[in-house]
Amino acid sequence: MSITTTDTKRRAATGALTVRDLTVSFPTATGSVDVVSHLDLDLEPGSALGIVGESGSGKSLTSLAMMGLLPPKATRTGTVTLGTEDLTSMSEAQLRRIRGDRVAMIFQDPLSSLNPYYTVGAQIEEAYRSHRRGVTRRKAHQVAVEAMERVHIKDAARRADHYPHQFSGGMRQRVMIAMALATEPELLIADEPTTALDVTVQAQILALLQEIRRETGTSLILITHDLAVVSEVTDHIVVMRSGVCVERGPVEAIFSDPQHHYTQRLFDAVPRIDDEIGDLRSLSPTGDHR
Partner 1 sequence: MPRYLAGRVAAMAGVLLLVCLFTYAVFFLLSPDPAVQICGKNCTPDRIDQIRENLGLDRPFWTQFLTFLGGLFAGRTYGVGPNAVQCAAPCLGYSFQSSQSVTDMIVQRLPVSATVAIGAAVLWLLVGVISGLVGAVKEGTWVDRTLTGLTLGGLSIPNYVLALVLQYVLVVQLQWLPFPQAVPFGEDPGRWFLNFVMPWIVLAVGYAAAYTRLTRANVIDTLQENFLRTARAKGLAPRLVWRRHALRPALTPVVTVFGMDFAGLLGGALITETVFGLNGVGKMAADSIAKNDQPVIMGVTLLAAFFVVVGNVVVDVVYTFIDPRVRVAA
Report the chain's terminal Cα–Cα distance, integer Å.
55
Q: How far apart are CA 53 and CA 51, in angstroms?
A: 7
Say whether residue 168 binds partner 1 (CB under 8 A): no
Residue 126 interacts with partner 1 (CB under 8 A)? yes
- Binding part of the chain for partner 1, among 78-86, 108-116, 134-142, 245-253 by CB under 8 A, reads 108-116
At closest approach, how far in Å is the CB of 104 from partner 1? 7
For partner 1, the binding residues in 74-103 under the rule CB under 8 A are 95-101
Of 116, 134, 271, 278, the one binding partner 1 (CB under 8 A) is 116
Residue 239 Cβ, how far from partner 1 at the closest point, in Å?
25
Q: Under 8 Å CB-to-CB from 269, ≥6 apart: which residues?
A: 281
Is there a contact between 187 and 137 (Cβ–Cβ < 8 Å)? Answer: no
Three-state secondary-structure class, residue 227? helix
Rounded CA separation 174/191 (Å): 14
Sequential DSSP letters for 172-223: HHHHHHHHHHTT--SEEEEESTTTTS-HHHHHHHHHHHHHHHHHH--EEEEE
User: Is residue 44 at the binding interface for partner 1, with CB under 8 A as the rule?
Assistant: no
Per CB under 8 A, does 193 bind partner 1? no
Give me the DSSP letters along 88-116. Answer: GGS-HHHHHHHBTTTEEEE-S-HHHHS-T
- Which of 172, 180, 191 has its CA nearest to residue 119? 172
Torsion from C-alpha of 85, 86, 88, 92, nearest 10 degrees: -30
CB of 52 to partner 1, least distance (A): 22
186 binds partner 1 (CB under 8 A): no
Question: Among 75, 77, 79, 112, which residue interacts with partner 1 (rule: CB under 8 A)?
Answer: 112
Does position 131 interact with partner 1 (CB under 8 A)? The reply is yes
Among 24, 52, 61, 67, binds partner 1 (CB under 8 A): 67
Identify which of residues 97 and 214 has a Cβ nearer to partner 1 in the complex.
97
Per CB under 8 A, the list member of 79, 166, 168, 259 interacting with partner 1 is: 166
**Smallest gap, in angstroms, from Cβ of residue 269 to partner 1?**
28
Residue 167 engages partner 1 in binding (rule: CB under 8 A): no
Verify binding: residue 153, partner 1, rule CB under 8 A.
Answer: no
134 binds partner 1 (CB under 8 A): no
Residue 19's identity, in one-letter code, is V
Contact stretch for partner 1 (CB under 8 A) within 15-23, 126-134, 200-208, 276-284: 126-134
In Å, what is the CA distance from 64 to each residue of 129, 143, 191, 233, 267? 23, 27, 10, 21, 27
Residue 163 as a binder of partner 1 (CB under 8 A): the answer is yes
Q: Does 114 bind partner 1 (CB under 8 A)?
A: yes
Is residue 182 a contact partner of residue 174, using CB atoms and an 8 Å limit? no
Question: Where does this chain bind partner 1 (CB under 8 A)?
Answer: 67, 69, 95-101, 104-105, 107, 109, 112-118, 126-127, 130-131, 162-163, 165-166, 176, 179
